[in-house]
């Protein structure tokens, strides 16, 4: 199983922490770096250089098509799932994928139409069909990656979305005002996003993620 992490220089440290965490649960992380960004070769972590436009924060149907092709091309022949994850997300387990019959699994909220992009999984066996469906989409540089991937998955066989903030959901965004220890967060959630909210910058995000890794 692979986890592709799109990253850029301000998020390199967070991306390495995220990748190490994926490795610790048996997933093969691959950092996707833009060809124009500085070289980056963290020891023991695979990297690929992409040349397709990211349109800011991973937007546009052209990006979505090439993103799906990248997931297909990087997946191993025995891989059942391909995961896309952000560099500010930590995954502590894979129970959220177990026993799922759908072709894609992610998270959402009633205010968000598709997957939240910080972590979702797509069955490798349907990537070809999703690519074909994406090739038929009209060009749109503003199309959000997560919403469109969710719509493509629904059109190609159906997806499952955990509702963030609902009881028992394994997905959450870290609350920077929380005083709960890392162990409590890991005990309640399997996938955590450490968003740069409430004035937090890249350095604080990286430090908090590293703290969660160090206290396992």
User: Whose structure tokens read 């093969």?
Assistant: 28
Determine the Cα–Cα distance for residues 201 and 61; give it in Å rounded to an integer.
29
Please check the confidence at residue 79 and state whether its pLDDT lies above 90: yes
What per-residue confidence (pLDDT) applies to 116? 87
What per-residue confidence (pLDDT) applies to 198? 66
* Mean pLDDT for the stretch of residues 92-105: 95
Please check the confidence at residue 73 and state whether its pLDDT lies above 80: yes
Determine the Cα–Cα distance for residues 100 and 54; give it in Å rounded to an integer.
30
Determine the Cα–Cα distance for residues 113 and 49; give it in Å rounded to an integer.
30
If one counts every other C-beta atom within 10 angstroms of the C-beta of residue 212, the result is 20
What per-residue confidence (pLDDT) applies to 113? 65
Please check the confidence at residue 155 and state whether its pLDDT lies above 80: yes
Please check the confidence at residue 172 and state whether its pLDDT lies above 80: yes
Burial class (CB in 10 A: 0-12, 13-18, 19+), 199: exposed
Strand ordering across the sheet containing 171-173: 89-91, 191-193, 171-173
Please check the confidence at residue 59 and state whether its pLDDT lies above 90: yes
Percent of the chain exceeding pLDDT 90 equals 86
What per-residue confidence (pLDDT) applies to 111? 73
Please check the confidence at residue 99 and state whether its pLDDT lies above 90: no
pTM: 0.95
Determine the Cα–Cα distance for residues 53 and 179; give it in Å rounded to an integer.
40
Model confidence pLDDT, tens digit, residues 183-200: 999 999 999 999 887 678
Domain 2-214 has CATH 3.30.70.270: no
Average pLDDT of the chain?
Answer: 93
In a 13 Å sphere around the CA of 10, the CA atoms on its Cβ side amount to 7
Lowest mean pLDDT among 67-71, 107-111, 134-138, 201-205: 107-111
Please, which pLDDT band fits residue 114 given cuts at 50, 70 and 90?
confident
What per-residue confidence (pLDDT) applies to 118? 92
* Mean pLDDT for the stretch of residues 124-145: 96
Q: Tokens for 3?
A: 């986890």
Q: Where are the domains of the chain?
A: 2-214
User: Which residues are CB-neighbours of 144 under 8 A, at least 6 positions away?
Assistant: 59, 114, 117
Sign of CA dihedral 199, 201, 115, 132: positive
Model confidence pLDDT, tens digit, residues 3-36: 999 999 999 999 999 999 999 999 999 999 999 9
Please check the confidence at residue 78 and state whether its pLDDT lies above 90: yes
What per-residue confidence (pLDDT) applies to 216? 61
φ, ψ at 86 (rounded to 5°): -85, 160
């Amino acid at each position: 199983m692979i986890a592709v992490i799109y990253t850029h220089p301000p998020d390199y440290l967070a991306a390495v922490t995220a990748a190490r965490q994926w490795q610790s649960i048996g997933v093969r992380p691959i950092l996707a770096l833009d060809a124009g960004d500085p070289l980056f070769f963290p020891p023991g972590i695979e990297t690929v250089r992409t040349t397709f436009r990211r349109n800011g924060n991973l937007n546009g149907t052209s990006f979505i098509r090439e993103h799906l092709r990248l997931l297909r091309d990087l997946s191993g022949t025995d891989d059942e799932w391909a995961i896309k994850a952000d560099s500010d997300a930590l995954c502590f387990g894979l129970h959220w994928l177990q026993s799922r019959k759908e072709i894609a699994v992610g998270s959402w909220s009633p205010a968000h139409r598709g997957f939240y992009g910080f972590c979702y999984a797509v069955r490798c066996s349907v990537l070809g069909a999703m690519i074909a469906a994406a090739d038929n989409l009209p060009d749109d540089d503003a199309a959000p990656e997560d919403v469109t991937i969710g719509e493509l998955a629904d059109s190609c066989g159906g997806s499952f979305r955990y509702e963030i903030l609902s009881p028992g959901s394994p997905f959450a965004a870290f609350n920077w005002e929380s005083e709960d220890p890392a162990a409590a967060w890991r005990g309640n959630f399997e996938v955590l996003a450490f968003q740069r909210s409430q004035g937090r910058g890249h350095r604080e995000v990286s430090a908090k993620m590293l703290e969660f890794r160090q206290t396992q």
